[in-house]
Amino acid sequence: MNLTISPGVREAVRSRVPFVRLPLVAWRHRGLRPTDAFLVSYMRSGQTWTRMMLGELLSGAEVDFDTYQLAVPMIGTQSGVAGFPPGGRRIIASHEPLHRWSARYPKVVMLIRDGRDVALSLYHDLIARGRLSGSFDDFLVAHLAGKYGGHGRWDEHIRDWSASPQARAGNLLSVRYEALLEEPLEQIREIARFLNLPHDDDTLQTAIEHNRVERMQTKERESDDLAQIRDASKGGMFVRGAHSGGREQYFTPENEARFERAFGGIMRELGYL
């Protein structure tokens, strides 16, 4: 993991990680291995769904909301995961922006989702967790400034990772959430090949079927961990539905214009506008 840190990455270190967060970020990145692979995305970009499918491919068994973090842990919790087999491969999930620690991830799969759907999904997730009670309009203003989650702005997250040392070295695979919805077998096969996971059609299709939206909603209802969070917050389901679009109720013409002023450039580059 001795990657050269470019001046651009050094600038990202300074600008993307507030000084007060540095000790926490450093602590989260303890105990990484050269064989670790990483699933990186901005929040609400299909990471939980993908973690469940990859967790099944890695462990050889179906995972649920109470066990998937033992198969594909979030950065900061990896010390409790031995790998498959023990001492072997690990896939670690991360929402971290590019900085001095994440720039050394050996191999990265990056999920990208339409920024408008990210915003709407994040809004509903915060409501469900009891962390937000205001209007979508007010939320959107703060979100566009990167005020939620501690991971910065959506556009900066994608731009930085797309120009990362991993991307320049051919060690980053970009995957669109929308493509995962439209052609899950082809996309999961590409991810599995990139990560050297089992990728025969039967194994991949089984992992996909185990994580269809209806199955994941059943897993959520059966989850002791999520039930406690829902009861405490009096929120709704976390798995709302795997889809893109359907945001007209929230993205009024004013909100569309506000979003395009902030993120229009990268949205056009990605083909979302």
| Domain extent listing, the chain | 7-115+150-237
Tens-digit pLDDT profile for the chain (273 aa)? 333 444 444 444 445 677 778 889 999 999 999 999 999 999 999 999 999 999 999 999 999 999 999 999 999 999 989 999 888 899 999 999 999 899 999 999 999 999 999 999 999 989 888 889 899 999 999 999 999 888 899 999 999 999 999 999 999 999 999 999 999 999 999 999 999 999 999 999 999 999 999 999 899 888 877 666 555 445 555 666 655 667 889 999 999 999 999 999 999 999 999
For 233-239, the CB contacts below 8 A with 24+ separation are 233/128, 233/129, 233/130, 233/131, 234/130, 235/127, 235/128, 235/129, 235/130, 236/124, 236/127, 236/128, 237/128, 238/125, 238/128, 239/213
Instruction: Report the pLDDT value the prediction gives residue 235, as an integer from 0 to 100.
Output: 54
DSSP string, the chain: ------HHHHHHHHHHS-GGGHHHHHHHTTT--TT-EEEEE-TTSSHHHHHHHHHHHHHSS---TTTHHHHSPBTT-GGG--TBTTTTB-EEEE---S-TTGGG-SEEEEEE--HHHHHHHHHHHHHHTTS--S-HHHHHHHHHTT-STTS--HHHHHHHHHTSHHHHTT-EEEEEHHHHHH-HHHHHHHHHHHTT----HHHHHHHHHTTSHHHHHHHHHT-HHHHHHHHHHT---S---S-S---TTT--HHHHHHHHHHHHHHHHHTT--
pLDDT in tens, 179-200: 999 999 999 999 999 999 999 9
Task: Classify domain 7-115+150-237 at the CATH class level.
Answer: alpha beta
Nearest of 71, 50, 69, 46 to residue 60 by alpha carbon:
71
Residues 6+ apart with CB under 8 A from 107: 37, 38, 166, 171, 172, 194, 195
pLDDT for 2: 39
**Which amino acid appears at position 263 of this protein?**
F
pLDDT in tens, 6-50: 444 444 444 567 777 888 999 999 999 999 999 999 999 999 999
